[in-house]
Structure 1
Amino acid sequence: MATLTLTGNALDNAIKLVSDKCAYVTLEAIESSSVRHATCIVTATGPIEFTVKSNADYTVYSTSLTAPEPVTGISASHLKYGQTAVLTLSGDPQISSIKVSSDKCTGMVLDATSSAATRTARCTVTGTGDMKLTVTNTSGGTTFYTQTVSVPEPQVTLVTSLGTVVMELNPTAAPITVKNFLAYVNQSPSFYNGTLFHRVISGFMAQGGGFTTGMNQKPKVPTGITLESQNGLLNVRGSVAMAREGPATGSPETDATRNSATYQFFVNLVNNAFLNYASSSNPGYAVFGKVISGMDVIDLMAAQPTATKNGYSDVPVTDITITSATQTQ
């Protein structure tokens, strides 16, 4: 809604006001012989023509005013997959009725207007790569501004008693698994803080996330996640996969065993092709990421002596503890 102030002589005369880009023009009551106000709904940006006419339709005055673009730039912070991004809109966003949408960010909330020169919006990031942001009028019929920002692949940093490991996750190939893993990482405090790499087999893999000192198992989760082992990611050296329950010896795989992964994960020390999907009766294990830094730390884990503790085999004699797990990207 624009407010227009008309000045000049004899504004108490019978006049009318028209415009090419301002609809529902309303002349207010006469205030004096030299001042009168009007209102209208701005329907476009850029130059807007206003014409004052007499009742006999003679043009007595015309002018052009400029409606600024409501948004001229968007900066994004906390742009992490699965988390809440903060978008800062610059330009003239405070006085305009606008809506912000995105192809990879859901639950968009636009903050209330204020006296500041910028305005913020928040949404939950649901994809990686190029994310398109679009500013429109509230009906979505007019687009004011578009911008593309890049969302990086999520990364999780594990600080362990033997060193730091950085894992890059692949939510495109394994969306269910990545969402599940990050939900544990991003608990406050992280679910993985204080857990162990409790099963380490040289020439095979290092498994963690399920036990604390003394081989005390974390509380079991009644329902696991859907197995995503047919996603094209392979159990090669450095890949990160979800651990799950296997069938009893001599028994076939069932939906209960296939979809039993919860919070335990493992890092492949070598190429373990036999862990890949082969068939519905041999569905393998779902890879959802890879180690991009600290594979030497995983190798160091494999060099530690192991023993049987509390009935569990291949347990490092000296605890290998995850002191912190953080989504760092």
Structure 2
Amino acid sequence: MAIVGAPFGDNLDVLIAFVALCSAGALLLFYDGTRRVLGDTVALPAALLMAINPAMLWMGGNLMAEAPFVLLTMLALWALAREDESPRFALLAGIAVYLAALTRTAGVVFVVATFGYWVARKRYRRAALFSSVGVLTIGVWLAWTFAQPDPDTRRLYIADLGLRGRDAGLHFVRDMAGRMVPRLKVMLTNYIPTALSVPTVAGTAVDNAGWLAATLALGGAGVVVLWRRWMGVIAFLVPYLLLLLVWRFQAGRFLTPIIPLLLVVVLGGAAWVSDRYVPKARGGLLTALTLLLTGGALVRDVAARRDGSCLLPPQFDRLASLLFRTGAGSAPAGALGARLDRPR
């Protein structure tokens, strides 16, 4: 964001346009990659659901690093889907993964995943070259981060790990282990269903249990299908989910960058189950699932539109423009935290 904004004086309109273009580019890459691997039968509904997903729409309209991060992630996966066509696509995938890791620290897991992916595919030369470059780029950056004397003051992610002080390593492992089970429960019953926009009925638990069973069954089938046909998706998805299970903080929005991956896994699994067990339905299961998820997403989109909590008032927009043009460092402390949306 800083690199894009610098030539234009951090113009707010330019930055918003950049985020929107990143979001649109990620959608196009996701569709084309899915189409090449699973065909239009899965690619079209997957792209539709990504386009109307409430979290993805929020991402495309907010000045945060999620949109460029998702764009680089989709570029890497798109290139991995085509790496057998030319070594240039493998090079493109490696560059995109490095840029994603430099855009958001969570992307470091994709660096490890890409190395493991090439090892699993017995592309040892690519894995060795990729890791060598990674040590000189991402490795140096991580080493610098660990070496900083005041990570809390600098608000570095390394401070969240709590790896400083006596017996820090032991406490770190113990805390991670303690988070996994409760975090997994929240992930399966709340964060993932919300990310997929599954429709539910208020005040009942039967539909939630049904969606949990369906997500696990179709997701499991999708993992098997994609491991054979688009291994990069699983290589990226699994480490990222594991990171969310053990990370110090939890929030539903942390799933936003991998919503496209969740969609293609579930829809890919639905397509395979439909073709394998109910071939006479001609994709009826996939169609029904797409319609249900579309309805759930649209209901949430309409609710978000009616609820003014996600829309910035005009006076906040004017303040944001002023701060971006004059430099955020000139803003008085707490100015951005003021409740300008509160009615007078």
State the TM-score bracket (shorter-chain normalisation): under 0.3
Structure with the bigger percentage of helix: 2
TM-score for the superposition, normalised by structure 1:
0.21
TM-score for the superposition, normalised by structure 2:
0.20
Higher relative contact order (CA 8 A, sep 6+): 2
Structure with the bigger percentage of strand: 1
